[in-house]
Structure 1
């Protein structure tokens, strides 16, 4: 008999769906009935990308509700997204709960929701459903968000979230330093819409009082400073669905598995893996500089190029490039990143530094070349380069473009420095110790399961 019915609600973005899907698999393992709620658009993408039908879901029920945007609106525009869903989704979520009960499903006992979907906490409370909050990024990022009132009081920020002073922040010893120009809510798209992001963040801080527990996809040894500052944030990571990579993590694009056989044919620690997540966009010039930089390294590379990664690129140029690097480089539209990073052939990871990617690199002891795109990724870069010292960052030129020479130079520096791999290996060992029996993440996860079992 199931311990209880848990509804899981991510923010409608790939980087938020994955860790909550991983958490859902863990909850199913512990005897809970789980309903995973995506938006209609994301639900359709997940279903289309599922390997072997629904077999990889292993007992997770998928449901969906509208996000409030028109079919043709840009869902990579975060300002648009976060403006729409608090206005439209509460009524749809409430209706879904009623529909499930009417269909004979067990009553929803708990909502485990993304901290960024704070509006749902109020819906749950109104329906008599208990709430636990999940934070999908670094604990340091949440710490900065929770410190917003203090930062305003200290004159670091104005009441609209913009910095009053150009300086480097470090909230506590051991936490990543971050310049005030790179705060997560001020680097999420069109500056004219940043007030929408900031308002959402501030509202979520208030909604978080409804949650009985807040857990995050991190581990103590990676962020000791942040967890000391906010001991009520419980680390339960690094999360992963299963060691065999057989369970779906809710990808929006089908995985190209041919790259795994390609990796099998490469020597140990020889391949440069390049991936920029689900949101980053490169203009044609930056795309070409990156491509030619990878070519200049002379090393085998595996590069994930989503269909929407760049627009306006010359097809003739791309075909010519593919011919030149045939046999050395492989380009795929999407892959099982967790399997790739766990592969013995991978030497380094050129990454946008999303938190999932960062944790996956940490869990596998892979050094990183950081190339952040937006939001909290600059903070994650600071962890890699300043705190853990497991990699380097690219430096754009005065025109904002990272040149091919910079790509070649930094890739060589990351791969050529044995200390990066040594420190990455040390961090990997600590991660596995935290999630093993008796480790801090394991103990925190047990506390979380016990709470949901009440």
Structure 2
């Protein structure tokens, strides 16, 4: 293997928030001459490639391949329980078959695997077939730290495998149990791998990284690797909104986007629309297909006509470019980690509307630790009212301290990914390991892998 050219196999969890940062990492490796085979499920592959505008940007060093997730094409991938159990049952064997097929060509053998931390089962596959493996964590280090505490919480009888997860916020017991299995695999992956890299930076999460010295921050990847069109999106971007932004005053526009998973009922959707109208501010609102639980998304009567002079809706936006636009004043967000990183690297304050999982942790960072945003609070009926939206928009944009803190964080995070910065140095060390230039790290990894296999 020492004489083989570096060839990394990358496998993300089949969700947009996981695919995008691992595609960013793939670009970093390709830029350093590393061949990458990127694995998606068949459904995800179709979504990603159909919306990928600049495939040639990766050159011949990147190949996209698929393995099945075990579900039929028409089955609902938003059913977390069904998808997770199907992945665990189907994908390990399919991944092993794919590796065997690729490695049949002597000059093309896979030398390393980079596994999404929520696909920890793939670490076992890598060790079974004798491939050195690293784990990539696409969310915050704080989220990972809470997961790594699970064994101790079980040992101390604070939780058990049948209890509600402290952060997943799932409404279905079976879904919770399925996700819990993935999280236990994450803990095992952390235990057995030398390289556990995170799409974060010490400047954002000093306390979390001080707790777990093995975690290696290499992000935010998007800050050091900006593609003309970011790969990994499941929906086609509408670039015309950038032209609309060009026509708006500097630092005036509220950008509203809730990622690929958030859903609203019709009442909440209408309250959001009314709140944006009452704010009397220009706004760019991403209304994704299927964003409401009803079969069709209906705006309040007359809404589009009343706001047409200052409001714009799109089905999907080129978010990195939107957040970097000088007309944007703030970001109303679900607080997914990718969106959070994109906003802090552009020095924008937040209006926080978390929906699921780690997004609530990220809201705590934004509002309580970094102090660059405000949370939107529900009323007694569980609805974020139009009045609450209007008031928080005014409060955020009228207090200069939020913008000042956001700009200070932007500066520190940007410096980390520049040459000489902490994340830049870590990423450089990781790439050297992939290229087999860091012999000490290779020896340490092989020793740890041997110990794991010996204990099985």
Query: What is the CA-CA distance between 1:204 and the residue it aligns to?
Result: 2.5
Q: What secondary structure is seen at the aligned counterpart in 2 of 1:42? A: helix
**Which one of the candidate residues 427, 438, 442 is aligned to 2:409?**
427
Q: Deviations for 1:425-453, whole angstroms, at most 9, x for unmatched residues?
A: 11100101111111110111111112112
Aligned-pair CA distance for 1:38 = 0.5
TM-score by length of 1: 0.91
Aligned to 2:439: none
Q: 1:267 to 1:119 in 2, by over 3 A?
A: same
Q: Which residue of 2 aligns with 1:304?
A: 286
* Alpha-carbon distance in 2 for matches of 1:162, 1:67: 26
Deviations 1:246-271 (A, max 9, x none): 14421111110001111111111100
Q: Which segment is superposed worse, 244-253 or 29-38?
A: 244-253
How much does 1:424 deviate? 0.7
Alignment of 1:352-363 (within 5 A): 352-363=334-345
Q: Does 1:444 align with 2:444?
A: no
Check the 8 A contact 1:75/1:81 in 2, yes or no: yes
CA distance change for structure 1 residues 310 and 209 in 2, over 3 Å: closer, same or farther?
A: same
Tell me the equivalent position of 1:344.
326
Shift of 1:321: 1.8
Q: Please, which of 121, 137, 144 is the counterpart of residue 123 of structure 2?
A: 121
- Which moved further from structure 2: 97-106 or 80-89? 97-106
Q: How does 1:368-447 map to 2 (within 5 A)?
A: 368-447=350-429
1:56 CA displacement: 3.7
Within the candidate set 270, 275, 281, 2:263 is matched to: 281
Residue of structure 2 equivalent to 1:171 = none
- Count the aligned residue pairs: 433
Cα distance in structure 1, aligned partners of 2:295 and 2:43 = 27
2:137 corresponds to which of 120, 135, 143: 135
8 Å Cα contact 2:266/2:298 also seen in 1:
no
Write the distance in 2 (CA, Å) between the matches of 1:105 and 1:14.
32
For the pair 1:48 / 2:54, whether they are aligned, the reply is no
Q: Secondary structure at the match of 1:240?
A: helix
8 Å CA contact retained: 1:5, 1:106: yes
Q: Where in structure 2 are the equivalents of 1:16-415 lying within 5 Å?
A: 16-52=18-54, 54-58=55-59, 59-102=61-104, 106-162=108-164, 183-185=166-168, 187-240=169-222, 245-312=227-294, 317=299, 320-415=302-397
State the TM-score, normalized to the length of structure 2: 0.91
1:161 CA drift (Å) = 4.1
- Decide whether aligned partners of structure 1 residues 247 and 336 sit closer, same or farther in structure 2, where only a CA change above 3 A counts: closer
Could you tell me how far apart the structure 2 residues matched to 1:108 and 1:188 are? Answer: 37
CA distance in 1 between partners of 2:177 and 2:327 (Å) = 44
Contact 1:151 1:157 (C-alpha < 8 Å) held by counterparts: yes
Equivalent position of 1:6 in the other structure: 8
How far apart in 2 are the matches of 1:151 and 1:386? 25
> Per-residue displacement from partner, 1:366-397 (whole Å, max 9, x unpaired)?
10111000111100000001100000101011
The whole-number CA distance in structure 2 between the counterparts of 1:86 and 1:243 is 32
Quote the Cα distance in structure 1 between the aligned partners of 2:256 and 2:129. 45
SS in 2 for 1:87: helix
- Give the conservation status (yes or no) of the 8 Å contact 1:274–1:304: yes
Stretches of structure 1 lacking an aligned partner (at least 5 in a row): 164-182
| 1:315, distance to aligned residue in structure 2 (A) | 6.3
- The answer (yes or no) to whether the contact 1:271–1:346 under 8 Å persists in 2 is yes
Q: Write the distance in 2 (CA, Å) between the matches of 1:314 and 1:215.
A: 41
Aligned counterparts of 2:150 and 2:305: Cα–Cα separation in 1? 51
Q: Relative to 1, partners in 2 of residues 1:394 and 1:2: Cα closer, same or farther, differing over 3 Å? A: farther
